Structure 1
Amino acid sequence: MAQILAPTTQWQMRITKNSMTPSLVTTKTWSSLLLKQKKSGNTKSLSKFRVYALKSENNTINRLENLLNLDITPYTDKIIAEYIWIGGSGIDLRSKSRTIPRPVEHPSELPKWNYDGSSTGQAPGEDSEVILYPQAIFKDPFRGGNNILVICDTYTPAGEPIPTNKRARAAEIFSNQKVINEVPWYGIEQEYTLMQTNVQWPLGWPVGGYPGPQGPYYCGVGADKSFGRDISDAHYKACLYAGINISGTNGEVMPGQWEYQVGPSVGIEAGDHIWCSRYLLEGDWNGAGCHTNYSTKSMREEGGFEVIKKAILNLSLRHKEHISAYGEGNERRLTGKHETASITTFSWGVANRGCSIRVGRATEKQGKGYLEDRRPASNMDPYVVTSLLAETTILWEPTLEAEALAAQKLSLKLLVKKGQMHLSNW
């Protein structure tokens, strides 16, 4: 029996005392039903009451749910566009709705809009208007029909990107002809942890305690190992409906922790798809990773393994720049333990998940493929990470002296993992 509870028990509907279920009120009698006030009640507080929504003969009386599920398509050409943008913290999402006269197929058909940036930490109160530029469209799995989700970035009224607009800089990098020619592909592994909201403790963990050690939870099945699968599955379907390029999902090594993968995506669309997927599964991303798989056209062609090695060399020389841009709280994750590299030391290896950069066995064997950057935190900005990878490996050229020194260091570096020592595969 669904309930809507108001502050007091001043008013109530009587049910049979000894009945296991309340007496039902049919839709025919609902409108004529008189709610009687208790004799001891205070007649001055008529606004305080309790309402029970009981089952009718056919279905639950729930007008709100019926309206939420109402398909307006047969009655109007108008649609609802949910404008979504990134707030002042750089990881919080904001949104508001707008009626559009008819369905659209491209963001250029949508009007620009504005919002109060002083309320999102993105503008001063005396000059608070921020302009939203529609950039990507997805189908809305919540409202259905022709309604859409609109990923936007943010500008001043003069047309300048505001400081928290990382998409604009990424778009510049991805519009460079050298980058376009390399057709950069990304596959992003977004990890997240489900929390029990009432106690702020991970789902599946005993409150205030710890579960058994890791081992049975990764890709685990069963009620004692797979906690929150219904949420993961619901999100999976919502992403597919929206048109997000989600490619899979799995339970992670910690109880209550999940991962989904988005890609392969080309260029700027990788960031658009990740941000929209986060909107569908809004939460706090700290404490897990967001491994980013990356390749260029040259890496995917014959002789690509040598191109990958050159890219890794460049990445080693800009390790600090990447770490500083790869998300908050990474120092608590990149400890050198639990299949992570140390945050202070760059490393790479084949099939080694304890490195900064991992190369797969298949890539080594075939002599072409992709690399995996295991450094980004789960709260990273995908616009920043994807564009920085392209910039460092395609556009940035180190000095010959720095390149030679880095090559020497990497070729001599010993990688130690799980008690086994082997040379870096340079």
Structure 2
Amino acid sequence: MAQIFAPSAQWQMRIGKNSADSNPLNTKMLNSLVIKQNKKVVKTSTNFKVFATLSENGCTVNRLEQLLNLDVTPYTDNIIAEYIWIGGSGIDVRSKSRTISKPVEHPSELPKWNYDGSSTGQAPGEDSEVVLYPEAIFKDPFRGGNNILVICDTYTPAGKPIPTNKRHKAAQIFSNPKVVAEIPWYGIEQEYTLLQKNVKWPLGWPVGGYPGPQGPYYCGAGADKSFGRDISDAHYKACLYAGINISGTNGEVMPGQWEFQVGPSVGIEAGDHIWCARYLLERITEQAGVVLSLDPKPIEGDWNGAGCHTNYSTKSMREEGGFDVIKKAILNLSLRHKEHISAYGEGNERRLTGKHETASINTFSWGVANRGCSIRVGRDTEKNGKGYLEDRRPASNMDPYVVTALLAETTILWEPTLEAEALAAQKLSLNV
């Protein structure tokens, strides 16, 4: 993301009680995403249209489209809440639905729920119950109307966060008075790769072969350069509808790879919005028959990996004299480089090689406008003497709760020894 702007005043998504929007992501909108079967329109005696799909055994009429697009708002006050949580791998999103008796405006109005943690790798079979705590609400672009998506975190029946619940610790850090006073802003650049379903090879690539070398694909247009634009656009609109603070999208350097940006977001909101955006992308690629990959280096060789660059600033960084505060933050980050790397995503060593616009995973560096550094500072920040920094180390599969909270902890709450600070400043040529 090129620049951090002022964040939305709406830090917590609210859902209007009387919203009766029709389903924005209906099957007509997604027709261009899937390979069309041989279909013809059949008119029935009730004067509505259905698709007749020709199969080997004859003609089978599929009325699912009409039911999927059915608006139940005039007939019931009930809504559907899709409870979403993070599974045992720490990167997989899970969800299930329940009926709520009326529209809601805040997560506190929703009941806690539970699921079988033994089936998600989060609990043993003999004590498998995991409890879902609703934390954030978004509008549901798939079902429309007053229906909602609910981001949850996970606890034992005794009320203790389970090990994969990274949101709980993040919320503690973001509720610290020192952190609250600094109003930390985040702009997260989520890169991802689209794969062909049956061969797990990037979309648009010849099966078993390679496209031309990188160069024309980044932000490119054309059938030979852009693969999966409809998925990116559908996701963009779904995020806007849901209330996710999405700020842009673009095609990436490797063909079949895309990026969306979320932010600026304040504190814990950044993680909630990224996780909901990932869930929407999983659902859209599911409908399109394409596989979503967050692998940081999906294709070995002379191809860019996939990162999740995290732009970050505090109130002090954004005010006069903020560049000195940024340099002090960079110093702290250099001293905790190993701790950050260990928390920045699985398989990141395959991506952070010092090539393809990355720094080496073993060496901390920073620079102005240098995309080969661990931390990049923009030209405008240097010129204005205030602004933000970009942490280019996080992998595409990083947990946004972990990364955002760790940045706040290291730059606001953690203080190095004077000796370590002096040595780091000398090594990095920082005068702080």
TM-score, scaled relative to structure 1? 0.84
Residue-by-residue CA offset, 1:95-130 (whole Å, 9 max, x unaligned): 000000000010000000001111111111111111
Question: Out of 350, 353, 365, which is 2:383 matched to?
Answer: 365
Larger RCO (alpha carbons 8 Å, 6+ apart): 2
Describe how 1:195-274 pairs up with structure 2 within 5 A: 195-274=195-274
Aligned equivalent of 1:27 = 44
- Per the alignment, residue 390 of structure 1 pairs with 408
The residue number in structure 1 matching 2:3 is none
Q: Does 1:82 align with 2:89?
A: no
User: 1:365 offset after TM fit, Å?
Assistant: 0.1
Distance in 2 of aligned mates of 1:388 and 1:115: 29
Q: Against the structure 1 CA distance between its residues 128 and 25, is the aligned structure 2 distance closer, same or farther, given a 3 Å change threshold?
A: closer
1:24 to partner: Cα distance: 8.5
Any idea what SS the aligned residue of 1:368 has? coil
- The aligned runs of 1:9-408 (5 Å cut-off) are 27-28=44-45, 50-53=57-60, 62-282=62-282, 283-287=292-296, 288-408=306-426
Query: Are the counterparts in 2 of residues 84 and 94 from structure 1 also a CA contact under 8 Å?
Result: yes
The offset of 1:244, in angstroms, is: 0.3
CA contact (8 A) 1:349 1:425 kept: no
Decide whether the 8 Å contact of 2:271 with 2:404 is kept in 1: yes
Shift, 1:289, TM fit? 0.3
* Paired residue type of 1:311: A
> 2:23 maps to what in 1?
none
Q: Do the aligned partners of 1:245 and 1:262 also contact (CA within 8 Å) in 2?
A: yes
Query: Cα gap change, 1:102/1:405 in structure 2, threshold over 3 Å: closer, same or farther?
Result: same
Amino acid at match of 1:328: E
Specify the SS of the correspondent of 2:427.
helix
3-state SS of paired residue (1:217): coil
Aligned residues: CA RMSD: 1.9
- Cα 1:22–1:65 shift into 2, 3 Å: closer
Q: Which runs of 5+ in 1 are unaligned?
A: 1-20, 31-48, 54-60, 412-423
Larger mean CA deviation between 116-125 and 293-302 belongs to 116-125
**2:422 is paired with a residue of what secondary structure?**
helix
CA distance in 2 between counterparts of 1:300 and 1:29 reads 62
Distance 1:71 1:304 in 2: 51
| Whole-angstrom distance in 2 between the partners of 1:267 and 1:127 | 34
Amino acid corresponding to residue 225 of structure 1 in structure 2: K
In the alignment, the residues of structure 1 paired with residue 39 and residue 84 of structure 2 have an alpha-carbon distance, to the nearest angstrom, of: 44
Larger CA deviation: 302-311 vs 213-222: 213-222
Q: In 2 relative to 1, CA 22–72 (structure 1 residues): closer, same or farther, beyond 3 Å? A: closer
CA deviation map 1:255-277 (0-9, x unaligned): 10000000000000000000000
Q: For 1:60-94, what per-residue CA distance to the aligned partner results, in whole angstroms no more than 9, with x for missing partners? A: x5421100000000100000000000000100111
Structure-1 separation of matches of 2:181 and 2:41: 68
CA contact (8 A) 2:194 2:293 kept: no
User: What SS class does the counterpart of residue 258 from structure 1 fall into?
Assistant: strand
Shift of 1:238: 0.4
SS at match of 1:98: strand
**Aligned equivalents of 2:152, 2:293: Cα separation in 1:** 21
Equivalent AA in structure 1 for residue 313 of structure 2: S
**Closer, same or farther: CA 353–22 of 1 in aligned 2, 3 Å:** closer
Q: Structure 1 residues 372, 25: closer, same or farther in 2, change over 3 A?
A: closer
Q: Which secondary structure state, in structure 2, belongs to the residue aligned with residue 198 of structure 1?
A: coil
Distance in 2 (CA, whole Å) between partners of 1:253 and 1:425 is 35
SS in 2 for 1:208: coil
Deviation at 1:284, TM superposition (A): 2.6
* Cα separation, 1, equivalents of 2:73 and 2:223: 40
Paired positions, count: 370
1:28 Cα deviation from its structure 2 partner: 4.5
Aligned residues of 1:293 and 1:373 also touching (Cα < 8 A): yes
Q: 2:412, 2:39 → 1: CA distance?
A: 70
1:239-267 Cα offsets, whole Å, 9 max, x none, are 00000000000000011000000000000
> What's the secondary structure of 1:194's corresponding residue?
strand
Shift of 1:223: 1.1
Deviation at 1:296, TM superposition (A): 0.1
Secondary structure in structure 1 of the residue aligned to 2:376: strand
> How far off its partner does 1:222 sit?
1.1
Seen in structure 2, the aligned counterparts of structure 1 residues 80 and 26 have a Cα distance that, compared at 3 Å, is closer
Distance 1:26 1:404 in 2: 79
Instruction: State the distance in 1 between where 2:431 and 2:249 align.
Output: 31
